[in-house]
Amino acid sequence: MTDGLVQGCLRKMAVEPGPTQAQPVSYQLRAGEHRIDLNARLGSPLKLRWSGAIACTHCGRATKKSFAQGYCYPCFKRLAQCDTCIMKPETCHYYQGTCRDPAWGEQHCFQPHIVYLANSSGLKVGITRKTQMPTRWLDQGAIQALPILEVDTRQQSGFVEMLFKEHVGDRTNWRAMLKGEVAELDLKAERDRLMAATASGLGQLKSEYGEDAIRELDGQHHAFHYPVEAFPRKIVSHNFDKQPEVSGILQGIKGQYLMLDTGVINLRKFTGYEVSVA
């Protein structure tokens, strides 16, 4: 760091919930080994400039294009964490002997997973490793979240999610999330409605994998408050590939987005991009 300038390859912002639900989520921008307290920069000018370089977050190789949010093409094609079954866990092919990295799969996929309801732009269902709560919800900009089921493996969580997706979406409308146009929901009532609607399918999964493989949770309701001074009225997106310098007054942070008075930018999208921050 020289003269207040930080330079390094972007990583997903580090995020922590506030000490209480009334206090804002805490964000740190990560550029290489540097961390910048973004909450402290609210209301102040912020400038990020892409050098034109991109480095793979796994192997460090220089790459002209980032795949799957931070990987070079060889790693994208080789690594288990970049396989299609990560996005569609119900298609897990470990037992077919074709997992790209069985040891990685055993460490990450054969671990307890949580099926949850969240409210980021409206009601949605999602899955995450048990160890990733509440980070997963914060990365999505959820204002509310409720864990509803715990299962033994990632594939099982995918099967459960498919049942729920017949009745509720699994995507976030990022524009609505950023505009703050999200009404609070009674997630416990929604849980009860959806559990009733999926009871037959859940019963079939339990008969196949065992009654204890899919466990109902009397989960704690979580609520989050984000550090936002002003929500954008109109969404204008910044893109380093089209505009290497992004600057403006930092008005808020939500999900993995910075809200500037000049537009918004999804920093996770540009993982591996070498930037200077001032």
Give residue 255's pLDDT: 98
Residue 1 inside a domain? The answer is no
The two tokens of residue 77 are: 């094609």
Residues 177 and 267 in one domain: no
The one-letter amino acid at 263: G
Residue 74 inside a domain? The answer is no
* Torsional class of 151: left (φ above 0), alpha (ψ -120 to 50), beta (otherwise): beta
Residues 121 and 184 in one domain: yes
Categorize the per-residue pLDDT at 1 as very low, low, confident or very high, splitting at 50, 70 and 90: very low
Query: Please, which residues bridge with residue 127 across strands?
Result: 115
The one-letter amino acid at 131: T
- Note whether 42 and 252 are within 8 A (CB): yes
- Using a pLDDT cut of 70, give the percent of the chain over it: 99
Q: What range does the domain containing 94 cover?
A: 79-110
Residue 72 inside a domain? The answer is no
Residues 213 and 116 in one domain: yes
DSSP 8-state secondary structure symbol assigned to residue 40:
G
Categorize the per-residue pLDDT at 4 as very low, low, confident or very high, splitting at 50, 70 and 90: low
Domain boundary among 182, 197, 223: 223
Residue 2 has pLDDT above 90, yes or no: no
pLDDT digits (tens, 9 = 90+) for 141-192: 999 999 999 999 999 999 999 999 999 999 999 999 999 989 999 999 999 9
Residues 117 and 201 in one domain: yes
Residue 132 inside a domain? The answer is yes
- Note whether 206 and 213 are within 8 A (CB): yes
Residues 62 and 157 in one domain: no
Q: How many CA atoms lie within 13 A of 242 on its CB side?
A: 4
